[in-house]
Amino acid sequence: MEITDIRIRLVSSKDEKLKAFACVSLDGCFVIRDIKIISRPGGIFVAMPSRKLTFPCACCNAKNHLRAKHCNNCGSRLAAPEAAVNGRGRAKLYADIAHPITQHCREAFHARILAAYQEELSRAAQPGYKPQSLPGELDVVGIDVVDDYAIEEEAGAPEPPG
């Protein structure tokens, strides 16, 4: 597996911790979006895309986030579930959607993303800087920006079912 492209979108917001979003293309055919570059006291780190963990309501079986006190669907009071605990003794509220499995892969992946982030910071300091667009972003007129990651229709490919 080879990282064939990394796109960085710098973030300028009141939240000083979130510095940028990254989008990584693997082998020119697989994309991982919503990778966050976050600042913390120990330095900058890469956070893989994640989702909030949920649990079902006892009354209506609707999904609710772990810290919810009332059901989003029926409004009934929720009993706090037993949450998994991370390595620091805190409740695990998020689960990674995609992530490297081995430590070697994680270090290489993060190093490449952070190098691309530093390059984007250098470009941003230049006059006439234009931010990169990330695939799946909506541009100013609401059109989905797909750029180089566009899905090409193959001639003779079968129609998807449905």
Between residues 156 and 86, the one the model is more confident about: 86
Q: What is the pTM of this model?
A: 0.67
- Evaluate whether 100 touches 106 at the Cβ level (below 8 Å): yes
76 within 8 A of 70, measured Cβ to Cβ: yes
Q: What is the pLDDT of residues 18-43, one digit of tens each?
A: 999 999 998 888 899 999 999 988 89
C-alpha distances in Å from residue 47, one per residue of 59, 114, 157:
35, 11, 36
Does the pLDDT of residue 145 top 70, yes or no? no
Give the count of beta carbons closer than 10 Å to the beta carbon of residue 71.
Answer: 19
| Full set of structural domains in the chain with CATH | 3-49+97-149 (3.30.1120.40), 52-95 (no CATH)
Q: Tell which phi-psi region holds residue 118, choosing left (phi > 0), alpha (psi between -120 and 50) or beta.
A: alpha
What does the pLDDT look like over 93-112, one tens digit per residue? 788 888 889 999 999 999 99
Q: 6-21 pLDDT, tens per residue? A: 999 998 766 688 999 9
pLDDT band at 48 (very low <50, low <70, confident <90, very high): very high
pLDDT band at 92 (very low <50, low <70, confident <90, very high): confident
**Cβ contacts of 14 within 8 Å, gap of 6 or more:** none
- 8 class by beta-carbon count within 10 Å (0-12 exposed, 13-18 middle, 19+ buried): buried
Average per-residue pLDDT for the chain: 79
Length of the chain: 162
